């Protein structure tokens, strides 16, 4: 356990215990937050919010299974970008990511970090429903609802604030320890009602989210429809209501307001994109613990015609066959898919993986290289190519390809993890420590990142240009650390 993790758990216990005392003494009263600044104080600066966002994302990664699958991440990012382009209030950076849990929920953290659970993607019956929830979360960010609740952070260190927000948003999932989780859950429920999900904030996020939804070309009625369906399911399952309803309470008035707002735009029927259907098929396939169960499921639905999109269902079937080790059958399905969609990234990368697993490495590399020549900015393709290079015993070439992707997607911790692996396989110790440092920095671990760069500079035979770049990066990070100390941001 890292010192920061230990501090998180101690802080959760302390703040959670305080909450228990307060609730027991005044259960009928609303939860009062610590004095964190008056309404006249300025909202947290953009730079401070960015640092807070990184600290928050670190706690997310420590607590939840962030799914670093390039294809699923690429899809959810593309949907997020379409919504951002239609939202005139959307400025600054946004990061969309998927949580690999069957929970029907989504959340927005500081710095534009928006998490979407796999369960939500599967629960959405249309792409417009998924877009509706994401537009709602984007509105929470653009209207700075979270930051309004944590104004004037001069009294709390960034890690402490990140912890408060993580507890509020993630609730019982912040700590893996059952006792800590129970306390965090009580604290989170109270804080959420006071900060993140007040009635006014939710109404505003609905209102603006529906506007964004309509302007992006999605069905503005999807939000009310999704809310209503979730509300019906909560009545059926009583205490097992979808998590979305616990963090975003829905009642008849809210549904009526959403319907009224949608009426300003009128119904817009929009066919679901194939990538939406493919993402759902991939997540359904992952949901089965055993490959044979997945193969049986997709085989049955295809035989019986119980599916909304045959192409997506066959994709899920091919993924299941791949996991079961039935590569020839999986490739037969993939060949059929490619005949209809020869340039679709999901099918091209799957076909290349199957070639690799059947000993046809050169064919896999040729396929991926050709696809990249037609779409050089397609980062999932380039990562697949780099992974194929590593599998083929060409880690130096893989490192070069991944470095090019990193220039397109700076600050991606999963990508730096792959770079670290490629450098290690290539026997490049300086680059191994350098990329490990970048991964740590992207995850908010500044001090360990600095130590890794210092180790990198001590390696023998390091090229002058590389040493100069590492030294410049090291000086920048040390200045950042010094500034944090001056502001007291590195102390809980």
**Number of Cα atoms under 13 Å in the Cβ half of residue 297:** 21
- Catalytically annotated residue among 127, 129, 206, 313: 206
Percentages helix, strand, coil for the chain, rounded to the nearest 5?
70, 5, 25
- Residues 137, 98, 285, 378: is their CA dihedral positive or negative? positive
| Nearest of 221, 220, 248 to residue 234 by alpha carbon | 248
- Write the DSSP assignment of 215-232 as a string of letters: HTTS-TTHHHHHHHHHHH
Q: Is 447 a residue of the active site? A: no
| Nearest of 189, 145, 138 to residue 167 by alpha carbon | 189
State the Cα torsion 61-437-349-60 to the nearest 10°: 10
Query: Apex CA 279: angle with CA 347 and CA 137, to 5°?
Result: 145
Token readout for 166 is 């993580």
- Catalytically annotated residue among 49, 129, 137, 355: 137
| Nearest of 397, 414, 313, 332 to residue 361 by alpha carbon | 397
Distance CA 33, CA 110 (A): 18
- Write the DSSP assignment of 181-203 as a string of letters: HHHHHHHHHHHHHHTTT-HHHHH
| Nearest of 450, 443, 435 to residue 485 by alpha carbon | 450
Q: Is 206 a residue of the active site? A: yes
* Residue 297, annotated as binding a ligand: no
Tell me how far apart the 2 most distant CA atoms of the chain are, in Å: 70
* Residue 140, annotated as binding a ligand: yes
Token readout for 246 is 């616990």
Q: Are 161 and 153 in contact (CB under 8 A)?
A: yes
Distance CA 261, CA 207 (A): 7
For 75, residues 6+ apart whose C-beta sits below 8 A from its C-beta are 275, 276, 278, 279
Token readout for 86 is 């239609």
β-pairing verdict for 113-117 and 95-99: parallel
What are the contacts of 231-238 at 24+ separation with CB within 8 A?
A: 231/255
Distance CA 359, CA 183 (A): 52
Number of neighbouring beta carbons within 10 Å of residue 304: 8
Work out the burial of residue 433: count CB atoms within 10 Å of its CB; fewer than 13 is exposed, 13-18 middle, 19 or more buried.
buried
Distance CA 107, CA 137 (A): 6
* Residue 101, annotated as binding a ligand: no
Residue stretches of the annotated binding site for Zn(2+): 136, 140, 202
- Annotation: binding site: 136, 140, 202
Tell me which residues are annotated as active site.
137, 206
């Amino acid at each position: 356990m890292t010192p920061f993790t230990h501090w998180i758990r101690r802080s959760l216990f302390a703040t959670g215990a305080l909450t228990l005392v307060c609730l027991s003494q005044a259960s009928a009263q609303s939860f009062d937050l610590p004095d964190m600044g008056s309404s006249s104080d300025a909202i947290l600066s953009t730079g401070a919010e960015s640092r807070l966002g990184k600290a928050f994302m670190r706690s997310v990664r420590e607590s939840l299974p962030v799914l670093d699958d390039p294809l699923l991440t690429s899809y959810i990012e593309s949907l997020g970008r379409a919504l951002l382009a239609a939202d005139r209030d959307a400025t600054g950076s946004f990061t969309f990511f998927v949580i690999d849990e069957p929970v029907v929920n989504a959340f927005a953290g500081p710095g534009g970090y928006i998490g979407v659970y796999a369960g939500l993607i599967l629960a959405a019956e249309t792409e417009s429903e998924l877009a509706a929830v994401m537009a709602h979360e984007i509105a929470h960010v653009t209207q700075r609802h979270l930051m309004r609740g944590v104004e004037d952070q001069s009294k709390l260190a960034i890690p402490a604030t990140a912890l408060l927000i993580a507890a509020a948003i993630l609730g019982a999932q912040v700590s893996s320890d059952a006792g800590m989780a129970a306390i965090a859950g009580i604290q989170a429920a109270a804080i959420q009602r006071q900060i993140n999900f007040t009635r006014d904030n939710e109404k505003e996020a609905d209102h603006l989210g529906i506007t964004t939804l309509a302007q992006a070309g999605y069905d503005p009625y999807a939000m009310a429809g999704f809310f209503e369906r979730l509300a019906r399911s909560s009545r059926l399952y009583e205490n097992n209501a979808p998590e979305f309803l616990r963090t975003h309470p829905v009642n008849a008035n809210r549904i009526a307001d959403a319907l009224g707002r949608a009426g300003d735009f009128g119904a817009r029927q929009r066919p679901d994109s194939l990538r939406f259907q493919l993402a759902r098929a991939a997540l359904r396939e992952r949901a089965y613990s055993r490959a044979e169960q997945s193969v049986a499921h997709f085989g049955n639905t295809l035989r019986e015609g119980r599916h909304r999109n045959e192409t997506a269902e066959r994709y899920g079937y091919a993924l299941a066959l791949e996991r079961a080790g039935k590569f020839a059958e999986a490739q037969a399905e993939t060949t059929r898919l490619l005949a209809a969609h020869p340039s679709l990234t999901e099918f091209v990368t799957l076909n290349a993986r199957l070639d690799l697993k059947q000993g046809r490495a050169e064919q896999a590399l040729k396929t991926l290289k050709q696809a990249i020549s037609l779409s050089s900015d397609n980062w999932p393709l380039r990562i697949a190519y780099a992974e194929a290079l590593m599998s083929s015993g060409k880690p130096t070439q893989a490192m070069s390809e991944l470095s090019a992707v990193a220039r397109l997607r700076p600050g991606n911790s999963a990508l730096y993890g792959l770079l670290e692996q490629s450098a290690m396989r290539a026997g490049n110790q300086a680059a191994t420590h350098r990329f490990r440092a970048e991964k740590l920095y992207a995850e908010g671990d500044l001090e360990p990142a600095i130590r890794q760069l210092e180790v990198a500079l001590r390696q023998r035979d390091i090229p002058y240009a590389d040493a100069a770049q590492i030294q410049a990066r090291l000086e920048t990070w040390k200045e950042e650390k010094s500034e944090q100390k001056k502001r007291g941001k590195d102390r809980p």
